[in-house]
Structure 1
């Protein structure tokens, strides 16, 4: 089956918006399932050496905004064992070596230990390997917990390369943290405990560290989430999808950014690259050959995006 190719390279540096959905989009995740997946996200990210900027776990899908720093070939044995223990605190059917045994193999310089080390290093700082590990581990837990078998996720995850510019990151992060608002689960993103912003407001250290990549004190980030920088404006920026489409398509107008981010925008999920025109153009030069139709940046439409562009020709059907 021919699929849209991902733009990321194995182990490539950069920021990525990642998204994966359940089979047939079924709403399979209640509070317990979302909490388990939330914890697994942090565990797998730490094992992988990938920084989670923010995330959102929903009833039938999840989003991640992550930072990949590059291959860690010089990682110490001590650090490697520490990360190994995060995922494999004891022997499992799919990984029979305990952390203590792995530590001994590394100390003795055995062939088995070196092979294991090389295998683990290949899984570090790589979004494909991270998502594979995360989705497999959660699938095993979910199927076992629900006496279920078969695939849980529908196909491969989606990936959008995001420029490391503060504005681009802030916009994508806000779109992710507003998932629960778009779904009508909460009126305020701070009240949704399965997203990075909600966890950060609740005192989550890792979530605060992730969002600090964008804003050190979250004040500027709130401006994107709420509009004019005040939570009191939240009720004033809500708008229906139908009204948004009317303004954009019939009136050929633009909407405030805070309004558009409360709609499902295809730029963030079906785009390939997102950032300034120069960034998108540079990245497109290295994209797969089957994407020649997308060899130039396209300015994002429908809102005041402050110069952001995407690497695909999403000229129609802006809203999903």
Structure 2
């Protein structure tokens, strides 16, 4: 029987849970967690989604993710598929790594958002050495919530949830501690409320994902001062950067799959499009000239 499509309101924020199959640890060590985080950061560059909380355990991980107008299924499939390939190659194994698809619950209120973040941050307390000090666990965003240190992985925006408690930073952190060390049974009960699929608005401007790909082609050609026809030339090193940036913007802002980008650029494989998207993401991260190129395009075409 085919899987039912997920209900995905445009403005939804999600509590995401990923789990490995029963006989395999998802993260054998910290290096595996670092690999997943690196892949997540890569796709943040492409899709511009927001992470509000995270915690990595041995056989599962929790996230609160605001897709920011992107498709949550595409985001999680991209991350998990890449990680599974990396993991299987690293450990010389074959077959599935994840248990089914990722689990997701739509966050339907500020209260649920706070409770979900607390539930996520309590996970390390199942480990003896962190039972009374979960904030010391490296692979959780709790220490950032409490102001003990900045997020070492630079993937989380903790202030969005913390300001729901109090505009005063010190007071909000104190209140969050009460929430964190509160009644476990009550927390579990609250989180088991049936998800009614209502929409939770993050009150942040979402990225539009339905731009015309030809506008992107024209924009990139103008930005790099080349003839737009050059973007359709295969295997020409002089135009690889332009093609990479065009592929990245189409993946990010047209809600395109690699197959769709193949049709726009022409005479190119899906594998090559995937490589170009990776190159485009690296260009944005490494070259200050292009770091804001996605927002530059949006500001030019959203009037």
TM-score normalised over the length of structure 1: 0.51
Tell me the SS of whatever aligns to 1:204. coil
Change (3 A) 1:156 1:54: same
More helix by share: 2
Partner Cα separation in structure 2 for residue 182 and residue 34 of structure 1: 18
Aligned partners of 1:60, 1:51: CA distance in 2, in Å? 23
The structural deviation recorded for 1:223 is 2.5
Instruction: Answer yes or no: is 1:33 the counterpart of 2:35.
Output: no
The equivalences for 1:63-212 within 5 A come to 63-70=62-69, 125-163=70-108, 165-184=109-128, 186-187=130-131, 188-198=133-143, 201-204=148-151, 210-212=157-159
Deviates more, 1:53-62 or 1:183-192: 183-192
- Work out whether residues 17 and 64 of structure 1, in 8 Å CA contact, stay in contact via their aligned partners in 2: yes
Q: How many residues align?
A: 191
After TM superposition, the structure 1 stretch with the greater mean CA deviation from structure 2, 29-38 or 134-143, is 29-38
Change (3 A) 1:34 1:267: farther
Pick closer, same or farther for the CA change 1:64–1:28 going to 2, 3 Å: closer
Q: 2 CA distance for matches of 1:266 and 1:67?
A: 24
Residue pair 2:125, 2:134 contacting (<8 A) in 1 also: yes
- Is it true that 1:260 corresponds to 2:184 in the alignment? yes
Q: Which residue pairs with 1:227 in the alignment?
A: 178
- Return 5+ residue gaps in structure 2 as ranges: 164-168, 201-303
- Quote the residue 2:8 is aligned against: 8
Offset, 1:43: 2.6
Is the contact made by 2:14 and 2:66 (CA closer than 8 Å) also made in structure 1?
yes
Structure 1 unaligned segments of length 5 or more: list them: 71-124, 229-233, 238-257, 281-320
1:118-143: CA deviations, max 9, x gaps?
xxxxxxx1110010011011111111
Query: TM-score normalised to the size of structure 2?
Result: 0.54
Task: Provide the C-alpha distance between the structure 2 equivalents of 1:58 and 1:218, rounded to a whole number of angstroms.
Answer: 28
Which is further off, 199-208 or 57-66? 199-208
**SS of 2:161 mapped into structure 1:** coil
